[in-house]
Amino acid sequence: MSLAAVASPPESAPVLRVVDVSKKHGSNWILRGVSLEVAKGEVLAVIGPSGSGKTTLVRCINQLEPIDGGRIYLDESLVGYRDRNGRMERLSERQIAGQRTHIGMVFQRFNLFPHMDALANVMVGPLRVLHRPEPEVRPEAIELLRRVGLGEKLHAYPGQLSGGQQQRVAIARALAMRPRLMLFDEPTSALDPETVGEVLDAMRELAMSGTTMIVVTHEMGFARDVADHVMVMDAGVVIERGLSREVFARPAHERTRAFLQAVR
């Protein structure tokens, strides 16, 4: 059953529920029983040292990688699998692609279509995937580009844009699909230092507007000041989670304290 066919969950239900998810590459376990919940309108920052499993986690949530244990629910519907009398059976790639339209993802690299201008890049998903009419999609795409500060760059091609501008187009493109959840995987890591701020500002605006977000980031200021909660990962497990300002001010776990001291 597709997510579109599932009745809307109660407002009190979490948008995302990850339950005891594990993932291995070869014989190495990358995720070891990770669980989390994200409420509607919540911003969760995921931090931790490189190699702790943060990127793998968001890729599993978006089913870019299959999981080896546990379950993932979006609006209380299983993602990527169906339950066959207690046995998890992977959905077809077409079914997974349909579910994926409800989850927007912004990667480290922008992956824009170089032969399309900014406006066309934002419109392509709603037109080709959702089959929505162009007269309806175009004004929404223009408004999204204005929302991320690119109202004057509608017809600029990726090669004519800075890295920060390209990443903001990528954010608008993800939002154009009207996702229930936005995932950000180190969205500023490939940017020049002078363009990081403009992308973080766009993400702050999304947070303030009530967009449900999971942000994998090394930007500790953003995690502390913008995220509602922060989750700290190390060696594939969640070692700490709590209100962002409390975790930063009074980290409970020794490894959290060591990580924060190192990044400061």
The mean pLDDT of 126-140, rounded to a whole number, is 97
- Does the pLDDT at position 9 exceed 90? no
**168 and 186 inside one domain:** no
CATH of the domain at 186: 3.40.50.300
Domain co-membership, 70 together with 192: yes
Q: Are residues 192 and 251 in the same domain?
A: yes
Query: What integer pLDDT is reported at residue 130 of this predicted model?
Result: 95
232-250 tens-digit pLDDT = 999 999 999 999 999 999 9
Calculate mean pLDDT across residues 102-131. Answer: 95
Residue pLDDT, tens place only, 163-211: 999 999 999 999 999 999 999 999 999 898 889 999 999 999 999 999 9
Domain boundaries, position 123: 113-178
Band of residue 263 on the pLDDT scale cut at 50, 70, 90: confident
Q: Which of 116, 38, 120 is nearest to 72 (CA)?
A: 38
Closest among 199, 34, 35, 4 to 103, alpha carbons compared: 4
Q: What is the mean pLDDT of residues 80-104?
A: 94
Q: Say whether both 240 and 254 belong to one domain.
A: yes
How many domains does the structure of the chain reveal? 2
Q: 182 to each of 24, 45, 116, 178, how far by Cα in Å?
A: 24, 12, 23, 10
Burial class of 121 by CB neighbour count within 10 A (0 to 12, 13 to 18, 19+): buried
Average the pLDDT over 106-111 and give the result. 90
Average pLDDT, the chain: 93
Query: What value does the mean pLDDT take over residues 216-230?
Result: 96
User: Does residue 195 share a domain with residue 129?
Assistant: no
Is the residue at 237 inside a domain? Answer: yes
Average pLDDT over residues 76-98: 93
DSSP codes joined into one string, 99-143: HHTTEEEE-SS----TTS-HHHHHHHHHHHTS---HHHHHHHHHH
Residue 3 pLDDT > 60: no
pTM of the model: 0.92
Task: Count CA within 13 A, CB hemisphere, residue 239.
Answer: 20
In tens, the pLDDT along 10-59 reads 567 899 999 999 999 999 999 999 999 999 999 999 999 999 999 999 99
